[in-house]
Amino acid sequence: MENKQNRILAIDLARGISVLMVIIVHTLWMYADVPTQSNTWLGEVIHFIGKGTPMFLIAMGVSFTLSRNQSIVLSIKRAGYILAMGYFMNFLKFVIPTAIGIVPDNFIQAYGWEAPATFSNMMYMLRTGDILQLAGVSLLFMGVINRFSKNKYVPLAIALVIALTTKIVHGYRPGITGIDYIFDLLWGAEWTVYFAVFPWFSFILIGMFFGLWYKEKNTSTNYMFNRMGITGVALMMIGGSLCVYNFEYHFGDYFHLGPGGTIYLAGFNLVLLWIANIVVTKISYNKVFEFFFYCSKRVTTIYVIQWTIICWGMSIFGYQQYGVMGILALLPLTIGVTLLIQKFVLDKFLTSKKKVQPEEEKEELVLKTLRG
């Protein structure tokens, strides 16, 4: 199922679902107590949901190959925009509430600091490497790769190299202030950065491979997604075997994956995308699809809003205070408030700007005409 603008609806569905899933995951992280996160059915289910993050990254890679303008200049501009949004989000969700003193003391203490937080502590929070920083830096690399090669096997080969070698350079820093942070963004072992470019960029590159394959064959989406499914099963078997052999090295923790963990999650999320295509192919277009497509088109702003709402919400609900029933009650609240702000504040603001802009352009045209 594909529309006239060359958008693949399964990709939009996956991306829309992904951004809602992160609200659920972040609500658990920030509001659930440690036993609820670690030793309950709800914690297990939500952590399993969190394994779907690479689905968003693979979708990003596919979408990049299908975009009309893939010039390196536009990639740099997009990267700058996404990075700016990432650090603006950190400012909104961490720095402002900390500066005005509404962040719970135990949240500050979770960093190993003493409350109240210092200016240095807030600058540390501002530098947090989230998925938007990953996406921004990755766009720079994607533009370069696309500029010098259209061969679909180039991003696939780079993805494999990244998956296999990241553990070797994991945590390396030259010991130079400022430069160390750049290396942390690339392959850091510190908790300043949650989504280091390596190995997470490999998921985007896998998406680029399938997107280029789809364009090369100039065929139906089913061709691409069926191969995603087959490849996904094979990668899950290979990566899963490596993780069983040496879990500490090959998976470690979710944010600092080794080779086996990267390969396994790539396969797992390729299978999820294959399932997403089956869903949009077998089920007629409906309001549920329309809702997820709406979220997909606003994925960046929804992501920023939800993190801001959840972090500011700690001033009301505290940090890691709730059990299963408390989290079940908070989930519709965090999701609902996020979507309400998106629809009735941000959407209305952007719509009003679009209405005003043509009038401004008309006035400018009239002035130019009058000037002769």
Which 3 state secondary structure label does DSSP give 8?
strand
> What amino acid is encoded at 6 in this protein?
N
Decide if pLDDT at 365 tops 80: no
CB burial string 195-208: b at 16+ within 10 A, e below: bbbbbbbbbbbbbb
Question: What tokens appear for 347 in the block?
Answer: 């959407």
Decide if pLDDT at 353 tops 90: no
Q: Cβ of 5: how many Cβ atoms within 10 Å?
A: 7
Q: How many residues does the chain have?
A: 372
Question: What tokens appear for 170 in the block?
Answer: 């994991």
Q: What is the pLDDT of residues 226-239, one digit of tens each?
A: 999 999 999 999 99
Decide if pLDDT at 269 tops 80: yes
82 or 71, higher pLDDT: 82
Question: What tokens appear for 135 in the block?
Answer: 């996406």
- Cα–Cα nearest to 194, from 122, 95, 127, 265: 127
- Cα–Cα nearest to 192, from 262, 141, 256: 256
pLDDT of residue 140: 93
For 317, the enclosing helix (H) or strand (E) is: helix 299-317
Report how far residue 236's alpha carbon sits from residue 264's, in angstroms, rounded to the nearest whole number.
Answer: 4
- State phi, psi for 253 to the nearest 5 degrees: -120, 165
Looking at residue 169, the DSSP 8-state letter turns out to be: H
Give me the helices (H) in 149-258, please: 153-169, 179-187, 197-217, 221-245, 247-250
CB 215 within 8 A of CB 65: yes
User: CA torsion 23→194→254→186, rounded to 10°?
Assistant: 140
Query: 357 falls in which pLDDT band (50, 70, 90)?
Result: low
Question: What tokens appear for 354 in the block?
Answer: 């679009």
Q: What is the pLDDT of residues 220-266, one digit of tens each?
A: 788 899 999 999 999 999 999 999 999 999 998 889 999 999 999 99
pLDDT of residue 2: 45
Lowest pLDDT segment from 165-174, 182-191, 329-338, 360-369? 360-369
Which 3 state secondary structure label does DSSP give 116?
coil
CB 73 within 8 A of CB 36: no
Decide if pLDDT at 5 tops 60: no
On average, the pLDDT of the chain sits at 90
368, burial (CB in 10 Å: exposed 0-12, middle 13-18, buried 19+): exposed
Q: What is the pLDDT of residues 124-146, one digit of tens each?
A: 999 999 999 999 999 999 999 98
Distances from the Cα of 93 to the Cα of 96, 121, 155, 197, angstroms:
7, 14, 34, 22
